[in-house]
Amino acid sequence: MKKFGNYHLSSTTLLALLTGLNLLNYVDRYLLNGVLVPLQQEFGLTDAQLGRLNTVFMLGYFLTAPFFGYLGDFWSRKKLIAFGVGVGGLATLLTGSATTYFALLITRVFVGLGEASYATISPGLLSDKFLPEKRNNALTIFYTALPVGAALGYILGGQFHQAMGWRQGFFWIGLLSVLVTFALQPFEEVPRAPTTSNESVVTPSLKNIFRVFRIPDFSNCIWGYVAYTFSMGAMSVWAPIFLQRYHHQTNADATFFFGAVAVVTGLVGTLCGGFLATHLRKKYPLSYHFILMSSILLSIPWTLLAIFSSDVVLVKLGFFMSLFCLFLSTGPVNSVLLESVPASMRATGMAASIFAIHLFGDLWSPEFVGFLSDYFGGLRPAFFVVIFSFVVGAYFWSLPFWRSRKI
């Protein structure tokens, strides 16, 4: 009889478990977004204070990611994953007990800390389990949990609030996350992939987190990803509120709409972008970069339609198509990041990615858009910064493509 913790773990089982845990990870994060308007009313918050709830989440996330990345390249990865899921779930549960704005801020910090452990470790673990020709498809499936989890967060938050108050959603979802904390523990550790002949073995260290930015492919991808994350962070917080303020949607209707849109566009967009990139990669080496560039460029006109149309149907169509285009990049961007660093530094590279995209991206974008909304007297002019960020992202993601002039 095998000892507990030594059962064989197939690649399919690992992918299913990690994707399920990732789903809960994103439900924990986005549950708050489904009740932002009720929270603003109950605690008497300005738009900037409302955006700060996301800022402190990102502080807990990106400040601890480098340490988990360092640990993930030599310590037990399944234990680190259990730690992340457990801390995030417990903090979500405690959010439902918060009676002050300060208490909300503290619980959001710990939700971010828990997610940092999980999000840093899991992609590298999948990369070690799957061969290169199957890796992008595996990561694409893994990251479908992002839109589905975000959608469930929006929907469950809004529906729980409508049925029994906003706190109940945090109690039940947090409890579920705590219960599945040890899902990976019965299985064997996944061995780390050996370094290939054309790669150097790099000893894990915290200083190497910053050295990876000297790798051109990694650096270009990261700065485009920063701009992308800035915009997505702002839209995820303020787009449902935009529908409520400018088009008189209820909180339940607006959050349900964005939840449904996130499911459809996230699943279809992520799978289409990921599988298309894998198919094209057989013939065109830079297909990942081409899809990254195209996804963000195509989103710009649709976002403009959503912001400036007076017809609520066109507004919803604009948000739908913008998110679909943006989700096309989910699989390819993570494949580029993981493949541009040595195999021995995959957790370190992912930690560096998390550190950068959140420090310069969605750490401050929701609060900044909230500040602009307070300053200019509305969300519509504040959304101009989102469009500008899309342009910046398209520039960085287009650099490898235009250097070669072919895919």
Contacts of residues 66-69 at CB distance under 8 Å and 24 or more positions apart, as own/partner, are: 66/206, 66/209, 66/351, 66/352, 66/355, 67/206, 67/351, 68/116, 68/117, 68/120, 68/121, 68/347, 68/351, 69/120, 69/209, 69/347, 69/348, 69/349, 69/350, 69/351, 69/352, 69/354
Q: Which residue has the higher pLDDT, 193 or 114?
A: 114
Range from 125-134, 172-181, 236-245 carrying the lowest mean pLDDT:
125-134
Question: What confidence tier does 4 reach under pLDDT thresholds 50, 70, 90?
Answer: very low
Confidence check: pLDDT of 198 > 70: no
Which pLDDT belongs to residue 405? 56
pLDDT at res. 143? 80
Summarize the confidence of residues 73-81 as an average pLDDT.
Answer: 79
Whether the per-residue pLDDT at 392 is higher than 90: the answer is yes
Which range among 38-42, 53-57, 193-197, 383-387 shows the weakest confidence by mean pLDDT?
A: 193-197
pLDDT beyond 50 at 342:
yes
The better pLDDT of the pair 111, 194 is held by 111
Confidence at residue 199, expressed as pLDDT on a 0 to 100 scale: 47
CA distances from 70 to 127, 153, 349, 372, 385 (A): 17, 30, 9, 37, 34
Q: In the numeric block, which tokens belong to residue 120?
A: 């840093």
Q: What is the mean pLDDT of residues 198-223?
A: 69
Q: What is the mean pLDDT of the chain?
A: 82
Using 50, 70 and 90 to split pLDDT, how confident is the model at 179?
Answer: confident
Instruction: State the pLDDT at residue 1.
Output: 42
Tokens of 253: 């209707």
15 and 139 Cβ atoms separated by less than 8 Å? no
Report the candidate in 147, 120, 145 with the shortest Cα–Cα distance to residue 63.
Answer: 120
In this prediction, residue 355 carries a pLDDT of 78
Q: Where are the alpha helices (DSSP H) in 31-166?
A: 36-43, 47-72, 77-95, 101-129, 132-143, 145-164
State pTM to two decimals.
Answer: 0.69
Percent of the chain with pLDDT over 90: 19
Q: Is the pLDDT of residue 202 over 70?
A: no
In this structure, what token pair is assigned to residue 119?
């999000």
Mean pLDDT over 380-397 rounds to: 92
- Identify the band that residue 7 occupies on the pLDDT scale cut at 50, 70 and 90: low
What are the two backbone dihedrals, phi and then psi, of residue 270, each rounded to the nearest 5 degrees?
-65, -45
Q: Residue 49 pLDDT more than 70?
A: yes
The pLDDT of 291-311, averaged and rounded, is 93
pLDDT for position 278: 78
Q: Quick check: 345 pLDDT over 80?
A: no
Check residues 338 and 326 and name the one with the higher pLDDT: 326
Q: Among candidates 182, 20, 181, 22, which has minimal Cα distance to 93? A: 181
> pLDDT-based confidence at 407, cuts 50/70/90?
very low
Q: What is the mean pLDDT of residues 23-46?
A: 86
- Asked if residue 97 lies in contact with residue 167, where contact means CB atoms within 8 angstroms, the answer is yes
| Residue at token pair 């995820």 | 236
Q: Are the beta carbons of 130 and 11 closer than 8 angstroms?
A: yes
- Which of 5-19, 31-45, 230-244, 287-301 has the lowest average pLDDT? 5-19
- Summarised one tens digit per residue, pLDDT across range 253-289 is 888 888 888 888 888 888 888 888 778 777 777 778 8
pLDDT of residue 195: 53
Q: Which of 17, 55, 21, 40 is nearest to 366 (CA)?
A: 55
**Model pLDDT, residue 325:** 93
Q: Topology of domain 11-183+210-404, per CATH?
A: Growth Hormone; Chain: A; (1.20.1250)
Which pLDDT does position 404 carry in this prediction?
Answer: 61
- Whether pLDDT at 367 is above 90: no
